[in-house]
Structure 1
Amino acid sequence: MLELQSPAQSKIIYPDSDGKPMADNTKQYHLIVTIQGGIDGLYKDDENVFVAGDLLWYPVEGNNAVCTAPDVMVVFGRPKGYRGSYKQWLEDNIPPIVVFEILSPSNTIKEMAKKQEFYNNYGVEEYYLFDPEKGDLCGWLRAENKLEVIEEMRGWISPRLGIKLDVVEGELVICRPDGERFASYVELIRQKEQQQQRAEQAEALLEEERRRREVLEARLREMGIDPQQL
């Protein structure tokens, strides 16, 4: 009797994109990029802190339906580098520890509730949600294996990142542990230009002082006085 062979299971594909845009508007995009860049810069010298924006996270091997793409995620204990997606079983089973979401007009209450449940179920320790339209900042911190709401977010300092989160006149303000504010690329360029301008002004003042000193020394010599003896 011929024994029928079951067909080999098809290889599971884990797409690198969910087909959704990274952001719905310029304000949301600006915040996502600034947060991702600020945290990445904070850990620029630590090769084992991976920071990503809008990257699909698959926590369960064998199930490509279980996934989400945090606007920003931070993973401790994993090397920096390129990834098409974050497959947790290939990353020593280490989940993102801190995640940020920037609310967009298209986000629904149901969608965000599912994301919170996802982060609760799969090991996120800190979850922060900011609504740019309303200027509302919310946060959750894991306690006793469950994400619990943070009652007061104004001036909150992230336990894992050490950064300070606040809302000033409806705008999200994040400061590094040294007090320096997270800045956009344009703001960083302006800061660099201002620093260069101040350095050039200081150099010009030094040069002017040097010329004045040379003129004074020349006059003293004309009077028969050695400037070195003064």
Structure 2
Amino acid sequence: MTLSANQLKTEVIYPDSDGTPMAESDPARDYLIYGVESLDIYFQDRDDIYVSGNLFLYYKNGIPSAVVAPDVFVVFGVEKKKRLSYKVWQEEDKVPSFVLEVTSLTTQENDEEDKPKKYALLGVQEYFQYDPTGDYLSPQLKGSSLVEGKYQPIAAKLLPDGVTSIHSEVLGLDLRLFDGELRFFEPQTGKKLLSHKETEQARQAAEQARRDAIPRLLELGLSVEQVASSLSLPVDEVRRFIQE
């Protein structure tokens, strides 16, 4: 029996996992989560921006070994949806425009040598590295922009309060270090990007601050209705506070 060419083809498998659990230090894991969540929230109203991290990114069709797994990455011009892995050829050849690697002892050499070469060949416009402990990178935060196929350092700025800041043209955001902790900021407003956990904590703190202001406003002679209006609280909630 003669087999057709299609029958002779072996299916190429692109694993979604390497079969081993992710082993990260607490700082590396925390900043990986912060990076993905804060950027995902920031771009939540854009259906054409995909934010992910620690996900296999395959960049050559038919070659499963041609793979990287950036800690945090952002792709512009593709559908925002859940993926088990990212295959460049299935995404109209769109590659990440921004990559952040959270460097540790086990990833330092790869982050400094191997990955920049791969990202440059892929056309990743900006490549950032951050070392949460400050033990493996000097300086602790680095940013590079792709210029004629090679990465050139992005100059860091020292803000008046002593904070180190590097601007990402791709994201339109600043990456800043506060006592060694990385945070994203909107440069125009100075607003800090928060993770889901930080957003919830901020909400709870704001609600508690409004409740704490109730007795002070009542002591000033404001009516229940005026207090509720000024604090953006339901009138019934102010009344419940008085009854407690």
* TM-score of the aligned structures, taking structure 1 as reference length: 0.82
1:176 and 2:179 aligned: no
Higher Cα Rg, which structure: 1
Indicate the percent of aligned positions where both proteins have the same amino acid: 31
Structure 1: distance between partners of 2:79 and 2:2: 48
Alignment match, 2:205 = 194
Tell me, what secondary structure is at the counterpart of 2:44?
coil
For structure 1, list consecutive stretches of 5 or more residues without a partner in the other structure: 214-230
Displacement of 1:151 in angstroms is 4.1
> Compared with structure 1, are the counterparts of its residues 113 and 204 closer, same or farther at alpha carbon in structure 2 (3 Å cutoff)?
same
Structure 2: distance between partners of 1:126 and 1:4: 48
1:139 and 2:143 aligned: yes
Tell me, what secondary structure is at the counterpart of 2:96?
coil
Displacement of 1:172 in angstroms is 1.9
Letter in 1 for 2:174: K
1:75 and 2:98 aligned: no
> Compared with structure 1, are the counterparts of its residues 4 and 79 closer, same or farther at alpha carbon in structure 2 (3 Å cutoff)?
closer
Displacement of 1:9 in angstroms is 1.7
Of 56-65 and 182-191, the range deviating more from structure 2: 182-191
For structure 2, list consecutive stretches of 5 or more residues without a partner in the other structure: 158-163, 227-244
Alignment match, 1:106 = 106
Structure 1: distance between partners of 2:37 and 2:216: 36
Letter in 1 for 2:27: K
**Is the CA contact 2:57–2:67 (under 8 Å) kept in the aligned structure 1?**
yes
> Compared with structure 1, are the counterparts of its residues 142 and 161 closer, same or farther at alpha carbon in structure 2 (3 Å cutoff)?
same
> Compared with structure 1, are the counterparts of its residues 197 and 3 closer, same or farther at alpha carbon in structure 2 (3 Å cutoff)?
closer
Alignment match, 1:148 = 152
Of 106-115 and 84-93, the range deviating more from structure 2: 106-115
Tell me, what secondary structure is at the counterpart of 2:200?
helix
RMSD: 2.4
Displacement of 1:188 in angstroms is 2.4
Alignment of 1:1-230 (within 5 A): 8-19=8-19, 21-110=21-110, 112-134=112-134, 136-152=140-156, 154-177=164-187, 178-206=189-217, 209-210=222-223
Alignment coverage as a number of residue pairs: 211
Displacement of 1:158 in angstroms is 0.6
Could you report, residue by residue, the CA deviation over 1:169-222 in whole angstroms, capped at 9, with x for unpaired residues?
A: 2222321343222334443222111110122234455556227x9xxxxxxxxx
Letter in 2 for 1:190: Q
> Compared with structure 1, are the counterparts of its residues 152 and 89 closer, same or farther at alpha carbon in structure 2 (3 Å cutoff)?
same
Letter in 1 for 2:185: C
Displacement of 1:124 in angstroms is 0.3
> Compared with structure 1, are the counterparts of its residues 39 and 110 closer, same or farther at alpha carbon in structure 2 (3 Å cutoff)?
closer
**Is the CA contact 2:132–2:140 (under 8 Å) kept in the aligned structure 1?**
yes
Alignment match, 1:222 = none
Tell me, what secondary structure is at the counterpart of 1:138?
strand
Letter in 2 for 1:76: F
Structure 2: distance between partners of 1:156 and 1:4: 59
> Compared with structure 1, are the counterparts of its residues 90 and 5 closer, same or farther at alpha carbon in structure 2 (3 Å cutoff)?
closer
Displacement of 1:10 in angstroms is 0.5
Tell me, what secondary structure is at the counterpart of 1:155?
strand
